[in-house]
Amino acid sequence: MITNLTASERRGALLILVVMAIVGLFFAAAGRGDPIALHGALIMVVALAFAFPVMGHLYDPEPSADRLDTYYDDPSKVGMILTFAWAAFAMFVGDWLAWMMVEPTWTTGSAWSSFGRLRPVHTTGVIFGFGGNGLIATSFYVMQRTCRVRLPDQLSPWFVLLGFNLFCLLAVTGYMLGITQSKEYAEPEWYADLWLVIVWIVYFVLYLRTLARREEPHIYVANWYYMAFILVVAMLHIVNNLAVPVSFLSAKSHSLFSGVQDALTEWWYGHNAVAFFLTAGFLGMMYYYLPIRAGRPIFSYRMSIISFWGITFMYMWVGSHHLHHTALPQWVQTLGMSFSLVLLVPSWASAANALLTLNGAWHRVRDDATLRFMMIAAVFYGLTTFEGSFMAIRSVNALSHYTDWTVGHVHAGALGWVAMITFGALYASIPWLWKKERMYSSFLVELHFWLALSGTVIYVFALWNAGIIQGLMWRTYTENGNLAYTFLDSVVAMTPYYIARAIGGLLFLTGALAGCLNLYLTIRFAAPATEALSLMPLRDPVSDAVIQAAE
């Protein structure tokens, strides 16, 4: 892969890596006594591990000019392998945590493996490690094919992909070492946050440069979503993470905002991480892969416009529904609730658009587990957005908030929507990327599908029950007007549901591991594709038909 880079790209890569290694060394040496030194050392080791192979190829000849006639897919390939790797790791940690809630002694006893430290490892690993790599890998793939142009250079996609993974690595190792700013879903400390800003700017510039070179007059709808994902995540990330570090050589920082202002900023961020990371980005994925795989154009172009702008405008108002009945002023709560309800319209417009696209292709849904992953994802997207709007109603939220219902809702979205659409997209792209006829084992894809679906259903049902029972137990009164249950009563009542949840998670994890195995077997042993499609020219007939009809 390094030999595919041009000589100047190799020199650029080496320069970046050497600068990173020096910065890492500086923090490792000057930050002694503070956990930041460990991260400095980690950055240095990672940078050197990449610098040596680049040095080995520094004076290799220039790659052949034919490369410019095809798409540049090496970063997508590596990104997809990383997506599976993060899935296996983060879902394993998640299920471990689920079992800890059944039996709290099932831990190593060391600080790094305690529930409180591993919980953000799980959430960051799934959202950013698994989801983020899936988004980056597929966005490179989709932007080239919908713009019918090769990526403008070969270095910046690697910088984005590997830089993002360095951020994830700093995040999860940090939590285990005790480095966190404790803002939910934004736990990484200031230096990791700054690094992500750099990576993200390069990512968006890469997107704009690709769009600027495009051979299509229109920007395909999938790209609108990917653009919204990159742009708005940048806005959210920068505002929510404003903080003052204790010193330049300390891993610790103190949030700029406090109390009620911090709470709303945090949930403005938190809910829109759901909206623009876990929804917009994956809708971009869906708008490309679902029609391509079904062989049919998107049902309605107008519906996708309404849905896109509805989501982009309205989601930013709804974060305050996480703070019903709290010290947040009531008018903000009411505003958040109102927009949450209206938000159902654009959300269902997207879900319906996806499902109606499948009209005329239902026989393919039946026969093709990859397309079925995408179909079920659209169904769960519709269900979860409905549930979300419902839970945003103040009186419903009074029952559901602080309970496991919220956790169940999040997993209906994360497992049912995000993971399903990602696995569908990966199973569709992997044979094309590695020039194979198909995935090595269609049985394993089928097995993965059923494990994922049954795991999700068990998980979500278990936590619906758990959450509603918790909420009701907390508010039940005896005839004498006393609270009927102690808090501990509600803890004890959770045990069967926590066991069911852990089993559901285990099924989902097993499915993901089957996917990892299948990925390995496909790359290693699957029969190569024979068709002309495998050459992947800049125009391919299948996507031409689908994308043009969509416009």
Partner 1 sequence: MFKLHYRLERRAIGMTLAIICAASVGGFVEIAPLFTIDQTVEAAPDMRVYTPLELAGRNIYMREGCYACHSQMIRTLRDEVERYGHYSLAVESKYDHPMLWGSKRTGPDIAPLGGKYSDEWHVRHLLNPREVVRVSIMPSYAWLMDNDLRIDDLSGQLAAQHAVGVPYTPDMIRHAADDAYGQANPDSNRVAGVRARYDDNTNIRAFDGIADRLTEMDALVAYLQILGRLTDASNLDPVGKDLE
Structure tokens at 99: 């079992």
CB 121 within 8 A of CB 195: no
Q: Does 262 bind partner 1 (CB under 8 A)?
A: yes
User: Closest separation between CB of residue 257 and partner 1, Å?
Assistant: 7
Question: Interface with partner 1 by CB under 8 A: which range of 135-143, 213-221, 374-382, 441-449?
Answer: 213-221
- Please, which residue, 370 or 400, has the CB nearer to partner 1? 400
Q: 335, 393, 521, 523: which one contacts partner 1 (CB under 8 A)?
A: 335
Q: How far apart are CA 223 and CA 35, in angstroms?
A: 40
Q: What binding mask, one character per residue, do residues 224-253 give for partner 1 by CB under 8 A, x or -?
A: x--xx--xx--x---x---xxxxx--x-xx
Residues in contact with 65: Cβ distance below 8 Å, sequence separation at least 6, in sequence order: none
Residues in 162-201 that interact with partner 1 by CB under 8 A: 175, 178-184
Pick the stretch among 67-75, 88-96, 194-202, 315-323 that binds partner 1 (CB under 8 A): 315-323
DSSP state of 537: B
The answer to the question of residue 295 lying near partner 1 (CB under 8 A) is no
- Any idea which residue has 């945090």 for tokens? 266
Our finding on whether 324 is near partner 1 (CB under 8 A) is yes
Amino acid letter, 81: I
x/- mask, partner 1, residues 358-397, rule CB under 8 A, reads -------------------------------------x--
**Cβ 349 to partner 1 shortest distance, Å:** 14
Q: Is 115 in the site for partner 1 (CB under 8 A)?
A: yes
Contact between 534 and partner 1 by CB under 8 A: the answer reads no
Of 61, 108, 215, 327, which lies in the binding site for partner 1, with binding defined by CB under 8 A? 327
Contacts with partner 1 in 461-500 (CB under 8 A)?
Answer: 470, 474-475, 477, 483, 487-488, 491-492
CA distance 375 to 354: 8
Q: Could you tell me the smallest distance in angstroms from the CB atom of residue 348 to partner 1?
A: 19
In three-state secondary structure terms, 526 is coil
6-14, 45-53, 329-337, 368-376 -> range binding partner 1 (CB under 8 A)? 329-337
Contacts (Cβ under 8 Å, ≥6 apart) of 149: 210, 213, 214, 215, 538
Contact present, 390 and 396 (Cβ < 8 Å): yes
* Least Cβ distance, residue 127 to partner 1 (angstroms): 15
Per CB under 8 A, which region of 305-313, 371-379, 437-445, 503-511 contacts partner 1?
305-313
Span of 157-165, 219-227, 289-297, 424-432 interacting with partner 1 by CB under 8 A? 219-227
Count of other CB atoms within 10 angstroms of residue 468: 16
Q: How far apart are CA 24 and CA 539, in angstroms?
A: 43
Whose Cβ is closer to partner 1: residue 24's or residue 120's?
120
Cβ closest to partner 1, residue 96 vs residue 434: 96
Cα(438)–Cα(428) distance, rounded to whole angstroms? 9
* Footprint (CB under 8 A) of partner 1, residues 13-52: 33-34
7, 197, 316, 536: which one contacts partner 1 (CB under 8 A)? 316
Shorter beta-carbon distance to partner 1: residue 175 or 449: 175
Beta strand ranges found along 169-230 (DSSP E): none
What's the Cα-to-Cα distance from 301 to each of 175, 308, 312, rounded to whole Å?
44, 11, 17
Sign, Cα dihedral of 212, 213, 218, 221: negative
Among positions 336, 408, 455, 504, the unique one binding partner 1 when judged by CB under 8 A: 336
Q: Around Cβ 300, how many Cβ atoms within 10 Å?
A: 16
Q: Decide: 298 and 356 in contact? Cβ < 8 Å.
A: no
Q: What are phi and psi of 255, to 5 degrees?
A: -60, 140
Q: How far is the CB of 245 from partner 1 (least distance, A)?
A: 7
Q: How far apart, in whole angstroms, are the C-alpha atoms of residue 209 and residue 151?
A: 8
Structural contact between residues 199 and 167, judged by C-beta atoms closer than 8 angstroms: yes
Instruction: Choose which of 257, 299, 348, 461 interacts with partner 1 (CB under 8 A).
Output: 257
Least distance (Å) between residue 231 CB and partner 1: 5
Site size for partner 1 (CB under 8 A): 101
Q: Restricting to residues 438-457, which ones interact with partner 1 according to CB under 8 A?
A: none
- CA atoms of 398 and 316, how far apart (whole Å): 22
Shortest CB 103 distance to partner 1, Å: 8
Annotate 231-249 with DSSP letters as a single string. Answer: HHHHHHHHHHT-EEES-TT
